[in-house]
Amino acid sequence: MGKTSKQAFNIFFGNSNYNVNENTAKFIEKLFGINWGNRIWDGNINAPQIAVDDELKQILLKCINIESISFDPVDRMKHSIGKSSIEILNSRLSILPGIVDAVVYPDQDEVYNLVKTLKKENIHITVYGGGTSVTGGLISKYTGKGRTVSIDTSKLKKIELRDGIVFCGAGFTGKELEEILNTKGKTMGNFPESFNYSTVGGWIATKESGQESNQYGDIEDMVSYIELVRTDGLFSDRYSPRSSSGISVKDVAMGSEGKCGIIMNAGIKVYNLPERRHYYSYFFKSFKDGIKSLMQMEKFPTVLRLSDETETEFLFLSQNNSMATDIFSKYLSLRQVNRGSLLILINNNARFKKPSNSVYSGRTIARIWENTRYERPYFGNVLWEHGLVPDTLETSVSWENIIKLYDEAILSFNNSIRELNIAGIIMSHISHFYIDGCAIYFTFIIKTDKTDDLIKIRKNMVNVFLHNGGSITHHHGLGKFFEEFAGDNSVFMKMLRDDIFDK
């Protein structure tokens, strides 16, 4: 076994200098008692001296080209550390998880042979799509206890567009796939915040949902066909628009979290690009007034995002033109809603009527939101650089329970930071709508150097979700952090597991 030299891995995506305006910077400085000029971390993690396992190399060479095998320590770190706040905080604290022993980049023809060989050699597998997991999905339970190889799906990029459906490799990112479809006048309608990085395979494995789910559905509504490679074979649904032919490969692959095989190809429904998008913004007096208005709807527009008072204030903070902001604030005051709760509404191809009890506030805010919809994580990078810890948690809950869950989640956060004696702020929006409820998304920022503080806040909040009839997660998936909450589901996960895939 050879040794490799020390290198650095940068954990940030898109770490170009994201611009935070002065108002926001001042607000954060004051809240957390920090100096904005003082960046304490650049996102780099020094790679430890990790060995190249020559025996493993020989095994891998039996089933994959040498160009498709990597023992590079930075590459191995990249494939072992996701984007969860727990992992990023640990990285900043130089607490490293187990690192995979190799990374392989198989093409479609190599996948099955590869997993069969790894099974024969009793080598564990983790699967890597876009690396955007915020739930510890990349963490391996086996690194350090026998060999683990990360299978990177980025070479799985076959594509075939037919009427109403695109068959494509699991390795396509949202951006790559959508760009190809757009040139043909089509869209898949899937726009998660991770759109630029996350992949088809990752969406399916985690049961994701995009920002336009009200129109295009969640990932299970979008996908008609899945090919799953397991150590016992290649399994595929017979493609059709819909089928009642028993438990399908799709049923098994959806939410399988990399434990039941590798998602290799999928068939995703495609739609004509909207001819026109209609943009609206509205204000409600309060977040709860907004919720009460929206819960009356039976049909929802393409995009509908209601921010609570804190998130709304953050938007005002980010405006540079203070005169325009003042005038706008006066307008809202005169109409009795003040700067209460902002609603962004976008609808494809048709106008959408004004929600009850709302005050119209123009198209611009909705357009700005759309233009910056994938940038929030870059703001997160800046916060990390300043020694802060940004994080998000989300759940879905019935209309009956939404307000109580919101109140208790906010209370839980505030109680937690008081008990831990740390500074913090929490804000929220609701953004995916169903006849029986909605998804609610919490963003919080704390200042701590203890991962345990973060874990405590998270667990307390998830317990509030569950206590109030919420789901563990609406669209982030379980990963390793939420497995303990999975309960009954985990029984079926175990039955369906492919045993060399990471538990």
If the CB atoms of residues 207 and 458 are measured against a second copy, the closer one turns out to be 207
Q: Applying CB under 8 A, which of residues 48, 144, 146, 487 lies at the interface with a second copy?
A: 487
Compute how many residues bind a second copy; rule: CB under 8 A: 78
For residue 112 the two structure tokens come to: 């099955």
Least separation in angstroms between CB 397 and a second copy: 6
Q: Applying CB under 8 A, which of residues 77, 138, 254, 346 lies at the interface with a second copy?
A: 254
Is residue 185 a contact point for a second copy (CB under 8 A)? no
SS3 of residue 443 by DSSP? strand
C-alpha to C-alpha distances, 302 to 196, 279, 295, 399, nearest whole angstrom: 20, 10, 16, 19
**213-232 footprint of a second copy as x/- string (CB under 8 A):** -----x-xx--x-------x
Is residue 352 a contact point for a second copy (CB under 8 A)? no
Contacts (CB under 8 A) with a second copy, residues 315-344: none
Least separation in angstroms between CB 18 and a second copy: 27
Least separation in angstroms between CB 28 and a second copy: 31
If the CB atoms of residues 84 and 448 are measured against a second copy, the closer one turns out to be 84
Contact 433, 464 (CB under 8 A): no
If the CB atoms of residues 76 and 83 are measured against a second copy, the closer one turns out to be 83
Q: Applying CB under 8 A, which of residues 21, 122, 243, 320 lies at the interface with a second copy?
A: 243
Is residue 67 a contact point for a second copy (CB under 8 A)? no
Contact 286, 340 (CB under 8 A): yes
Is residue 486 a contact point for a second copy (CB under 8 A)? yes
Is residue 207 a contact point for a second copy (CB under 8 A)? yes
Strands 51-52 and 44-46: unpaired
Contact 181, 187 (CB under 8 A): yes
If the CB atoms of residues 109 and 298 are measured against a second copy, the closer one turns out to be 298
Beginning with the edge strand found earlier in the chain, give each strand of the sheet holding 233-236 in spatial order: 159-162, 165-169, 262-269, 223-230, 233-236
For residue 434 the two structure tokens come to: 């169903």
Which listed range, 63-71, 107-115, 330-338, 471-479, lies at the site for a second copy (CB under 8 A)? Answer: 471-479
Which runs of E-coded beta strand occur in 129-245? Answer: 148-152, 159-162, 165-169, 186-187, 223-230, 233-236
If the CB atoms of residues 59 and 270 are measured against a second copy, the closer one turns out to be 270
Contacts (CB under 8 A) with a second copy, residues 278-317: 295, 298
Residues near 125 by Cβ (< 8 Å), separated by ≥ 6?
Answer: 115, 118, 148, 149, 150, 151, 262, 500, 501, 502
Which listed range, 87-95, 96-104, 332-340, 397-405, lies at the site for a second copy (CB under 8 A)? Answer: 397-405
Q: How far apart are CA 338 and CA 328, in angstroms?
A: 10
If the CB atoms of residues 77 and 393 are measured against a second copy, the closer one turns out to be 393
If the CB atoms of residues 35 and 489 are measured against a second copy, the closer one turns out to be 489
If the CB atoms of residues 41 and 239 are measured against a second copy, the closer one turns out to be 239
Least separation in angstroms between CB 387 and a second copy: 31
Q: Applying CB under 8 A, which of residues 397, 427, 430, 464 lies at the interface with a second copy?
A: 397
Q: Applying CB under 8 A, which of residues 50, 60, 77, 165 lies at the interface with a second copy?
A: 165
Contact 219, 203 (CB under 8 A): yes
71-93 in b/e form (b: 16+ CB < 10 A) is bbbbbbbbbbbbbbbbbbbbbbe
Name 50's bridge partners.
none
Is residue 439 a contact point for a second copy (CB under 8 A)? yes
Contact 138, 126 (CB under 8 A): yes
Contacts (CB under 8 A) with a second copy, residues 5-44: none
The DSSP symbol for 328 reads H
Is residue 411 a contact point for a second copy (CB under 8 A)? no
Is residue 249 a contact point for a second copy (CB under 8 A)? yes
Q: 497 φ, ψ to 5°?
A: -60, 150
